[in-house]
Amino acid sequence: MEHFLPPVFTQEEKDDETFMREFIERNSFNLLFASTRLRDDYDLVHLAVTKDGYSLKFASERLQDDRHICLCACKNCGQAYNYVSNRLKYDVEILLTALHTYPLGLYYAPSILCDDETVVLKAVQKSGMALAYASSRLQNNQNIVRCATSNIPYCFFYAHSDLKRNKEFILSCFVFTTRIYLYIHPSLKCDDTILRRVIESDASNLIHAPENVLENNEYLSLIIPKYPFIYFYLSVENRRRESIVLHVLEHQLGLFTSIPSCLRDNKEFILGLIKKYPNLYPYLSPHLKYNSKFIRQLYRKNPLVLQYLPYPYRENLIALDNCKMLYNHLSIFDSIDIYRYVQSFLY
């Protein structure tokens, strides 16, 4: 249990440099239990921040204002930047060192450094989400936003509104990701060039497209082959359209279970489909899947459906086929109609 409970030190032990050094070597966070005097000891604090920079949090204010200590702390733990003095937070080298391991440390930086192109570029190269803490001017910088977006596409949310309206810039970003489509200005979401680029690259992004795009037959004919699951985002009216349903099923037959019941339970519609898709049978509604009469209709339309039928129905159809063959080829059945008899009790 000694590894899970904080150590208990006497006041003498907390102020004993040799004793505390031993414990800090085991765990740098033990600096927390050192006396005020030892938290101000340069060598002891340097030992702690060398092992884990976050222990700078427990150092004295004087050492939190020491450049060498802070630089050493930020080198192995960028989050230590939060605990450097206000004066040293303006030190570009310390900030850049911290950003190397903790790019979101830009959040703690003074506004003047959040407007420094070199600093912000370093941060977004490590994590695009650092764009959220850049100045408004740099959020409108194409080079920085492009770098951030190539790292994490969703950070385009923090780009300046002027860039979200810039068609040429957006198309240049599409070279490495089209996921930014969600965040571009609404006026560009219906642009033909942008739509075709998104469809070509990753049509799934068009779940965020305006309604008039998803109602456009020309675009739907391009989207469905790339991403048939767009069907879930169509209007109720379009989901009932037989032409759209047929196009969707051509690319994703499993979506048959999601089409409206007016089509899913339409026997004529199903019999038309089974000619092309004998593997449609597993997706039928239970009241049709286990309907003996309807199964025989399916079988007559496409005998290949036999391999997808449950055991008893498959064996019964095979038995009927065998009897029919005998009936057609053996003269004995002219007087003894066994075929009709067998057919009467099967199913």
Q: What tens digit of pLDDT does each residue of 291-307 get?
A: 888 888 888 898 888 88
Q: How far apart are the first and last CA of the chain?
A: 70
Number of alpha carbons in the 13 Å side-chain half-sphere of residue 271: 12
Residue 342 and residue 161: Cα distance in Å, rounded?
Answer: 76
| Mean pLDDT confidence for 253-261 | 93
pLDDT of residue 1: 38
| Phi, psi torsion values for 169, nearest 5 degrees | -65, -40
pLDDT at 343 over 80: no
Categorize the per-residue pLDDT at 347 as very low, low, confident or very high, splitting at 50, 70 and 90: very low
pLDDT at 315 over 90: no
Residues in the chain: 347
Q: pTM for the full model? A: 0.78
Would you state the structure tokens that stand for residue 213, as one six-digit string? 């795009």
Would you state the structure tokens that stand for residue 20, as one six-digit string? 């505390």
pLDDT of residue 332: 52
